């Protein structure tokens, strides 16, 4: 055998080696190309919506007045065929779309005349032509007695107290490093007697919610003396011992705001913010015939309301990505005072998706199962968490203990 033949024989590649080479080449191609099939479709946005237009949440309505309920729904895929209006779970009217098989967007109105002075939960539910529900939205309203019945209402609300008048009362003060500061003063800051100098590096807060109540004392049941809007900034000049409330200053307004990371964003160091204490005792809450948030007329002046989430459940099993699912929530007022209407907010992961639901006025000791809270998530995941928060706008005076039990954490998977 000559040298050429020997070299040729030694250079042959075994068959099994060819298979290995082919497999490696295929793997390399797979890293750069999609072999067969259509490209993966990105997850889209929800194709439906339902909004309650009128009345506004927490509206005050005089008994005997006819008002117009209004809602608008849309469904880009199947269309909207009907909108039902209900009050406290009882159907009061249905409005059908002009196109019986459904139209992409449909606005509906329904007349309603409440006769009893109390809180109501009004809901609107949209349906497709095949009868399936598109979604549900609701608002809480408070119906008050007509002017001619105010005397009777006042007697029911506070039988031992005279009606409120416009007579001014002494403004509360609090002590900051032994220097008193007047709250809710109408004069410029420089004219306030003994007003402490604000350090140039004092921390500030910025409101990230729709609004933030400013109160006379570090208690949700104390007098509201002002309000900050979304985007407003204020200087932090004091705190309570638990750092759950800040004393703020904005122009001529000084008062207490709750320290909630969902509502405010703080800039600067707060470690050296001085302790501030109220110089007078917390005033006993006095019910009003026309209370903010719709205080039920049977309330007394003893104790506080205390809203809690008794139970929750996800309807229909494990949520699926990009599909609406419903959370059923039961709320109880375990306090000794009737609670006005409030707003519940759910924040769901992934994506911090938000969904809100009106909570009607609740008598002391009463419970209510709310209409379904609708949620749509756009990513899959396991062991995800969400939070359900009662009274997110701080409209119900629950006291320190009541405010501390308003948040419930839930867990779930998304397929």
Task: Please indicate, yes or no, whether residues 303 and 400 belong to a single structural domain of this protein.
Answer: yes
pLDDT in tens, 214-233: 888 887 767 788 889 899 99
Range 318-335 average pLDDT: 89
Query: What are the residues whose beta carbons fall under 8 Å from the beta carbon of 265, sequence distance 6 or more?
Result: 205, 206, 208
Q: Band of the pLDDT at 200, cuts 50, 70, 90?
A: low
Residue 328, in any domain of the structure: yes
Task: Please indicate, yes or no, whether residues 128 and 198 belong to a single structural domain of this protein.
Answer: no
The two most distant CA atoms of the chain are separated, in Å, by 126
Residue 351, in any domain of the structure: yes
Amino acid 167: pLDDT: 41
Amino acid 206: pLDDT: 92
Spacing of C-alpha 353 from chain mean position: 11
Residue 278's alpha-carbon distances to 170, 203, 343, 397, in angstroms, are 14, 21, 29, 18
Query: Are the C-beta atoms of 82 and 107 separated by less than 8 Å?
Result: no
> How many independent structural domains does the chain possess?
3
Query: What are the residues whose beta carbons fall under 8 Å from the beta carbon of 246, sequence distance 6 or more?
Result: 205, 236, 238, 239, 256, 257, 259, 273
Residue of higher predicted confidence among 54 and 83: 83
Task: Please indicate, yes or no, whether residues 320 and 400 belong to a single structural domain of this protein.
Answer: yes
Residue 6, in any domain of the structure: no
Query: Which of 123, 144, 165 is where one domain is finished?
Result: 144
Amino acid 17: pLDDT: 55
pTM higher than 0.85: no
Report d(CA 183, CA 252) in Å as an integer.
9
Residue 201's alpha-carbon distances to 117, 204, 231, 237, 279, in angstroms, are 51, 9, 20, 11, 26
Task: Please indicate, yes or no, whether residues 204 and 274 belong to a single structural domain of this protein.
Answer: yes
Query: Are the C-beta atoms of 133 and 127 separated by less than 8 Å?
Result: yes
Question: Length of the chain, please?
Answer: 415
Task: Please indicate, yes or no, whether residues 305 and 407 belong to a single structural domain of this protein.
Answer: yes
Nearest of 115, 130, 112, 114 to residue 52 by alpha carbon: 112
Residue 336's alpha-carbon distances to 218, 298, 329, 331, 364, in angstroms, are 21, 11, 22, 15, 5
Query: Are the C-beta atoms of 135 and 78 separated by less than 8 Å?
Result: no
Task: Please indicate, yes or no, whether residues 138 and 196 belong to a single structural domain of this protein.
Answer: no
Residue 140, in any domain of the structure: yes
Task: Please indicate, yes or no, whether residues 376 and 346 belong to a single structural domain of this protein.
Answer: yes
Query: Which of 144, 161, 188 is where one domain is finished?
Result: 144
Determine what percent of the chain is predicted with pLDDT higher than 70: 69
Lowest mean pLDDT among 185-189, 337-341, 408-412: 185-189
Task: Please indicate, yes or no, whether residues 330 and 273 belong to a single structural domain of this protein.
Answer: no
Residue 26, in any domain of the structure: no
Q: Which burial class, exposed, middle or buried, applies to 35 when counting CB atoms under 10 A from its CB (0-12, 13-18, 19+)?
A: exposed
Residue 128, in any domain of the structure: yes
Amino acid 413: pLDDT: 92
Name the CA radius of gyration of the chain, rounded.
30
Nearest of 237, 240, 158, 243 to residue 205 by alpha carbon: 237
Report d(CA 150, CA 133) in Å as an integer.
42
Query: Which of 211, 244, 278 is where one domain is finished?
Result: 278
Domain at 250, CATH number: 2.30.30.40
Cross-strand bridge partners of residue 60: 142
Domain containing residue 245? 173-278
Task: Please indicate, yes or no, whether residues 311 and 408 belong to a single structural domain of this protein.
Answer: yes
Residue 63, in any domain of the structure: yes
Task: Please indicate, yes or no, whether residues 183 and 262 belong to a single structural domain of this protein.
Answer: yes
Q: Does position 121 have pLDDT exceeding 60, yes or no?
A: yes
Task: Please indicate, yes or no, whether residues 262 and 228 belong to a single structural domain of this protein.
Answer: yes
Residue 156, in any domain of the structure: no
Q: Band of the pLDDT at 129, cuts 50, 70, 90?
A: very high
Domain at 82, CATH number: 2.60.40.10
Task: Please indicate, yes or no, whether residues 303 and 268 belong to a single structural domain of this protein.
Answer: no
Amino acid 93: pLDDT: 92
């Amino acid at each position: 055998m000559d040298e050429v033949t020997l070299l040729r024989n030694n250079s042959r590649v075994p068959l099994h080696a060819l298979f290995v080479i082919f497999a490696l080449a295929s793997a390399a191609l797979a890293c750069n190309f999609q072999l067969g099939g259509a490209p993966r479709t990105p997850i889209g946005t929800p194709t439906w919506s339902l909004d309650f237009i009128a009345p506004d949440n927490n509206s005050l309505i005089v008994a005997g007045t006819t008002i117009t309920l209004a809602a608008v729904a849309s469904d880009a895929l199947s269309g909207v065929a009907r909108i039902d209006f209900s009050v406290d779970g009882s159907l009061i009217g249905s409005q059908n779309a002009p196109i019986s098989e459904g139209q992409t967007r449909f606005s509906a109105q329904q007349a309603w005349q409440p006769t009893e002075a109390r809180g109501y939960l009004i809901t609107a539910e949209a349906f497709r032509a095949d009868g399936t529900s598109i979604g549900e939205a609701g608002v809480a309203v408070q119906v008050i007695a007509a002017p001619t019945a105010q005397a009777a209402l006042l007697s029911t609300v506070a039988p031992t107290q005279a009606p409120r008048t416009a007579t001014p009362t002494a403004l509360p003060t609090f002590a900051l490093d032994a220097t008193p500061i007047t709250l809710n003063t109408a004069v410029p800051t420089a004219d306030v007697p003994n007003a402490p100098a604000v350090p140039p590096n004092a921390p500030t807060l910025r409101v990230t919610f729709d609004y933030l109540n400013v109160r006379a004392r570090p208690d949700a049941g104390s007098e509201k003396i002002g309000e900050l809007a979304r985007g407003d900034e204020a200087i932090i000049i004091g705190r309570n011992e638990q750092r759950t409330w800040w004393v703020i200053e904005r122009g001529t307004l000084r008062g207490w705001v709750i320290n909630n990371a969902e509502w405010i964003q703080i800039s600067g160091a707060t470690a050296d913010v001085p302790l501030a204490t109220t110089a007078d005792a917390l005033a006993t809450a006095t019910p009003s015939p026309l209370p903010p948030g719709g205080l039920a007329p049977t309330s007394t002046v003893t104790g506080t309301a205390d809203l809690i989430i008794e139970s929750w459940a996800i309807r229909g099993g494990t949520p699926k990505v990009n599909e609406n699912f419903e959370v059923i929530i039961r709320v109880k007022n375990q306090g000794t005072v009737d609670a006005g209407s409030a707003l519940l907010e759910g924040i769901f992961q992934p994506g911090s998706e938000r969904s809100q639901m009106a909570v009607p006025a609740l008598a002391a000791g009463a419970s209510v199962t709310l209409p379904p809270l609708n949620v749509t998530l756009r990513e899959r995941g396991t062991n995800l968490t969400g939070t359900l928060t009662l009274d997110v706008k701080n409209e119900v005076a629950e006291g320190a203990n009541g405010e501390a039990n308003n948040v419930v954490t839930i867990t779930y998977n998304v397929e």
